[in-house]
Amino acid sequence: MKWGVVTLFPNMVADALAHGVIGKAQQRGLVELTTFNPRAYATDLRQTVDDRPYGGGPGMLMKVEPLRASIADARKKLRTAPVVYLSPQGELLTQSLAQELAELPELILVCGRYEGIDERVVELDIDREVSLGDFVLSGGEPAAIAMCDAIGRLVPGVLGHVDSAAKDSFSDGLLDCPHYTRPEDIVNSRVPDVLLSGNHGDIAQWRRKQALGRTWLRRPEILEQKELSDEDQLLLDEFIRESKS
Ligand code: 9WO
């Protein structure tokens, strides 16, 4: 998959995505990142990339011409890519949207800085506006990095273990079950016996029950929108009964 990221801080994005499974995926040629810096398209001596907002008020906006020229160049290299602007005004990024975007061959992400970008650039050059949640950052880069990470790990071959992505939290819409590693005992807090039993059927059932139970406790609205199988419903009923005793 080919990513183009339009950003005034290309090193921030490239450095962040050089680590771990996404860094390895780039080395293996499974994903490819190209950055486009609006500053490189600025035409004045000072290489200006900000401009004042009409109507006044504090803060600056991204200067239109260098921003549009950098997006145009990204489009030229990645001809089939939708152009996504990261902002709190966008549709929420979900695992299902990440899966949808991971199926594309190309994607362009635009990172805003300052107080954002001219609305006509959104209308003219942006295909989709995406938000990670209801909070404000100092720029779109951390959101673009998170989005590339969420999408990149879904690209076939990126995760070593073939089905790790399928087993993740959210792959079937539930929260993840708790995990344990050594030692068996930490200040009298023990690993649940079932995980030491070697009975893989029991272990799978316990994990499913914990995933259902935690979703019920922490994100009940997720369960309300989900049709549970009879087996899942029994496991959840058991979890709820045990939580009350
Ligand atoms: C700045 C600002 C200042 C005063 C009052 C309101 C304000 N809103 C903003 C603002 O939204 N600044 C943005 C910073 C401009 C575009 C890039 N920035 C950004 C992206 N912040 N947060 C995101 C973001 C992106 C995706 N998901 C969550 C947050």
- Residue 160 pLDDT class (50, 70, 90 cuts): confident
CB 67, CB 121: distance < 8 Å: yes
- Asked whether residue 144 carries a pLDDT value surpassing 90, the answer given is yes
Sign of CA dihedral 130, 132, 135, 140: negative
115 is catalytic: yes
Q: Half-sphere exposure of 73 toward its Cβ, with a 13 Å CA cutoff?
A: 17
Domains 2-152 and 169-244 share a fold: no
How much of the chain, in percent, has pLDDT values that exceed 90? 95
Decide: helix, strand or coil at residue 35: strand
Q: What is the pLDDT of residue 170?
A: 78
CATH number, domain 169-244: 1.10.1270.20
Closest protein CA for atom 15 of ligand 1: 116
CA distance 240 to 73: 55
Q: Region 10-22: what's the mean pLDDT?
A: 99
Find all residues with CB under 8 Å of 236, minimum gap 6, and list them. Answer: 209, 212, 213, 216, 223, 228
Q: Is the CB of 133 under 6 A from ligand 1?
A: yes
Residue 161 has what pLDDT? 75
51 is catalytic: no
Is 28 considered catalytic here? no
Q: Residue 214: how many CB atoms within 10 A of its CB? A: 17
Instruction: Report d(CA 58, CA 24) in Å as an integer.
Output: 42
Among residues 10, 153, 208, 232, the one annotated as catalytic is 153
Distances (CA, A) of 100 to 105, 115, 180: 11, 29, 32
Task: Specify the range with the lowest mean pLDDT, choosing from 21-35, 79-93, 105-119, 151-165.
Answer: 151-165
Is residue 162 very low, low, confident or very high in pLDDT (cuts 50, 70, 90)?
Answer: low
Determine if ligand 1 sits within 6 Å of the CB of residue 140. yes
CATH topology of domain 2-152: Alpha/beta knot (3.40.1280)
Contact 75, 81 (CB under 8 A): yes
Q: What is the pLDDT of residues 185-218, one digit of tens each?
A: 999 999 999 999 999 999 999 999 999 999 999 9
Question: 84 CB less than 6 Å from ligand 1?
Answer: no
Question: Which residue carries 């959104």 as its tokens?
Answer: 122
Give the domain ranges of the chain: 2-152, 169-244
Give the residue, by CA position, lying nearest to ligand 1 atom 8: 115
Q: Does the structure show a pLDDT above 80 at 164?
A: no
Q: Which residues contact 87 (CB under 8 A, 6 or more apart)?
A: 112, 116, 129, 130, 131, 140
pLDDT tens for residues 79-124? 999 999 999 999 999 999 999 999 999 999 999 999 999 999 999 9
Residue 135 has pLDDT above 70, yes or no: yes
Taking the centre of ligand 1 as the mean of its atom positions, its distance from the CA of residue 179, in whole angstroms, is 35
Element (H, E) at 230: helix 230-244
CA of 134 to the centre of ligand 1 (A): 10
Residue closest by Cα to atom 18 of ligand 1:
139
Average pLDDT, the chain: 97
Q: Is the pLDDT of residue 51 over 90?
A: yes
Active site residue 128: no
| pLDDT for the residue 172 | 86
